[in-house]
Amino acid sequence: MPDRYDLPAGFRWGVATAAYQIEGAVGEDGRGPSVWDTFAARPGAVRDGHTGAVACDHYHRYPEDISLMKGLGLDGYRFSIAWPRIQPGGSGPLNPAGLAFYDRLVDALLEVGITPLPTLFHWDLPQALEDDGGWLDRDTAYRFAEYAAVVADRLGDRVPAWITLNEPFVHTVFGYAMGVHAPGRALMFEALPAAHHQLLGHGLAASVLHERGLEVMLSNNLTPVQPASSDPADVAAAEAYDVLHNRMFTDPVLFGRYPDLSALGVPDDIYGAVHPGDTDLIHAPGLDGLGVNYYNPTRVAAPTDPGLPFDLVDIPDVPRTAFGWPVVPDGIRQLLVGLKELYGAALPPVTITENGCSVDESADPDQPRIDFMSAHLDALAAAVAEGVDIRGYYTWSLLDNYEWAEGYHQRFGLVHVDFATQTRTPKASYTWYRDLIAGHRAGRPE
Minimum distance of ligand IFM from residue 323's CB (angstroms): 7
Minimum distance of ligand IFM from residue 326's CB (angstroms): 14
Minimum distance of ligand IFM from residue 233's CB (angstroms): 31
Contacts of ligand IFM in 206-265 (CB under 6 A): 221
CA proximity to 285, closest of 347, 346, 210, 195: 210
Pair 192, 273: CB distance under 8 Å:
yes
Minimum distance of ligand IFM from residue 281's CB (angstroms): 26
Between the alpha carbon of residue 423 and those of residues 58, 312, 418, the distances in Å are 12, 39, 5
Contacts of ligand IFM in 403-422 (CB under 6 A): 403, 412
d(CA 249, CA 270): 13
Binding mask 279-308 for ligand IFM (x = CB under 6 A): --------------x---------------
Q: Which is nearer to ligand IFM, 270 or 290 (CB)?
A: 290
| Eight-class DSSP state of 326 | B
Q: Tell whether residue 79 is a contact of ligand IFM (CB under 6 A).
A: no
Of the residues 354, 361, 403, 446, only one is catalytic, namely: 354
How do strand 298-301 and strand 289-293 relate by DSSP bridges?
Answer: unpaired
d(CA 259, CA 243): 7
CA proximity to 288, closest of 179, 233, 213: 213
Comparing every residue's Cβ against ligand IFM, the nearest one is: 18
Q: Tell whether residue 167 is a contact of ligand IFM (CB under 6 A).
A: yes
Of the residues 130, 167, 239, 403, only one is catalytic, namely: 167
Q: Which is nearer to ligand IFM, 115 or 401 (CB)?
A: 401
Minimum distance of ligand IFM from residue 290's CB (angstroms): 16
Q: Which is nearer to ligand IFM, 115 or 321 (CB)?
A: 321
Q: Tell whether residue 396 is a contact of ligand IFM (CB under 6 A).
A: yes
- Beta-bridge partner residues of 311: 301
d(CA 4, CA 258): 35
Q: Which is nearer to ligand IFM, 17 or 279 (CB)?
A: 17
| Eight-class DSSP state of 167 | -
243-253 exposure pattern, b = at least 16 Cβ within 10 A, e = fewer: bbbbbbbbbbb
Q: Which residues in this chain contact ligand IFM in the complex, by CB under 6 A?
A: 18, 21, 167, 221, 293, 354, 396, 403, 412
